[in-house]
Amino acid sequence: MSTLSALPVGFTMGDAAGIGPEIIAKTFAGGLTGPAVVYGDAGVMSATLARLGMGDALQVRIVSAPALVKGEDGIIPVLNRWQALSDIVPGRASAQAGRGAYEYLCHAMDDAMSGELRAIVTAPLNKKTMQAGGADYPGHTEILAERSGTKHYAMMLANHELRVILVTIHVALADVPALVTLDTELQTIRLAHRACRQAGVAHPRIAVAGLNPHAGEEGRFGLEEAEIIAPAVRLAREEGLDASGPWPGDTVFMRARRGEFDIVVAQYHDQGLIPVKYLGLDAGVNVTVGLPFVRTSVDHGTAFDIAGLGVADPSSLRAAYDLALAMTVGTTPT
């Protein structure tokens, strides 16, 4: 057995024309507590260091495998198993950069699944440029699930005040009711419990939000609460999970923020993400729960409007790194 903490964390550079390279450089400059490697483009990372005036403090070193990463101060190890990028201009959309973001993620996943990485921490990609580069996915989550063969997964957003996990993710609002089933509801409650345990919560208290206003108000505004969500909560409790609800969506997040619950199961994307993002993007972390490895990410996009200006805030990436460490304390087979 080898300790997970001895393995490097894999940072994926994301879209090279966005702020990913900059926030990675700033995160390394702030100091890491263990070995880490960047899946990306060495030329882009070197140009970023020069643009930020960090060339004297940090240097890029190309490596061929995660096992060769030693965690040396002042070194950003870069592993690039895809073609070198050319003519990338910060802030200018590029299909080549979009494809690169997809390739970096895929190679990091392959190494994580083969036991060579402690966790994956992803910088932002741009869906339009990725799709223009030939990778037709709605975002990170769907790529992660498909490539890892994960059937039951969920997106969790977390900061210092809230944890929220989603039953449905990147779908039209009109499609949500049909996707809220007893199985998806129960699986998400289970994943909520798992995520909290990984984050160090010994006895997770799980609140489940209703789909409709006032959690359906006894069927007046919809039957999903009575026919699907409440039965799923009962089944979860029979399994020994501390789940409750369905609670009205307009008050349950406030109650969780005050400490009544450890995590909220939200039924759709904006129901869950608006409360988290309202509290600020600087410390928000996106976690894909259910994968065979830990993956955390920033809670913001590529920010093309400020890319290359040197003003990008690395706080969310740093929070994602710190959470990845917290969720990977243990051992893994050699």
As a three-state string, the secondary structure of the chain is: CEEHHHCCEEEECCCCCCCHHHHHHHHHHCCCCCCEEEECCHHHHHHHHHHHCCCCCCEEEECCCHHHCCCCCCEEEEECCCCCCCCCCCCCCCHHHHHHHHHHHHHHHHHHHCCCCCEEEECCCCHHHHHHCCCCCCCHHHHHHHHHCCCCCEEEEECCCCEEEECCCCCCHHHHHHHCCHHHHHHHHHHHHHHHHHCCCCCCEEEEECCCHHHHCCCCCCCHHHHHHHHHHHHHHHCCCEEEEEECCCCHHHHHHCCCCCEEEECCHHHHHHHHHHCCCCCCEEEEECCCCCEEEECCCCCCCCCCCCCCCCHHHHHHHHHHHHCCCCEECC
Please name the fold of domain 160-279: Isopropylmalate Dehydrogenase (3.40.718)
pLDDT at 331: 43
* 74 pLDDT above the threshold of 80: yes
CB contact at 8 A, 105 and 72 = no
Angle CA(281)–CA(282)–CA(284) in degrees, nearest 5?
Answer: 60
Average pLDDT of the residues in 16-25:
98
Average pLDDT of the residues in 302-324:
95
Q: Do domains 1-151+292-334 and 160-279 have the same CATH topology?
A: yes
Domain ranges of the chain: 1-151+292-334, 160-279
Q: How confident is the model at residue 216 (pLDDT cuts 50, 70, 90)?
A: confident
CA distance readout (Å), 172 to 26, 107, 176, 190, 284: 36, 30, 7, 24, 24
User: By mean pLDDT, which of 159-163, 204-208, 326-330 is the weakest?
Assistant: 326-330
pLDDT at 330: 56
Report the greatest alpha carbon distance in the chain: 66
* 5 pLDDT above the threshold of 80: no
CB contact at 8 A, 36 and 122 = no
At 234-271, the pLDDT tens digits run 999 999 999 999 999 999 999 999 999 999 999 999 99
The DSSP bridge partners found for residue 2 are 332
pLDDT at 138: 85
pLDDT at 67: 94
Helix pair angle (95-113, 140-148), 10° resolution: 40
Q: How confident is the model at residue 281 (pLDDT cuts 50, 70, 90)?
A: low
Instruction: Decide: residue 29, CB within 10 A, 0-12 exposed, 13-18 middle, 19+ buried.
Output: middle
Convert 280-289 to b/e letters by CB count within 10 Å (16 or more is b). ebebbbbbbb
At 98-128, the pLDDT tens digits run 999 999 999 999 999 999 999 999 999 999 9
At 122-141, the pLDDT tens digits run 999 999 999 999 999 988 98
pLDDT at 277: 86
Q: How confident is the model at residue 1 (pLDDT cuts 50, 70, 90)?
A: very low
- Locus of tokens 């037709």: 136
Give the CA count within 13 Å in the CB-facing half-sphere of 311. Answer: 6
Q: 1-151+292-334 is classed in which CATH architecture?
A: 3-Layer(aba) Sandwich (3.40)
Average pLDDT of the residues in 88-93:
96
Residue type at position 315: S
* 332 pLDDT above the threshold of 70: no
Average pLDDT of the residues in 203-211:
97
Kindly report the average pLDDT of the chain as a whole number: 93
User: Taking the model in full, what pTM does it have?
Assistant: 0.89
At 130-189, the pLDDT tens digits run 999 999 998 898 899 999 999 999 999 998 899 999 999 889 999 999 999 999 999 999
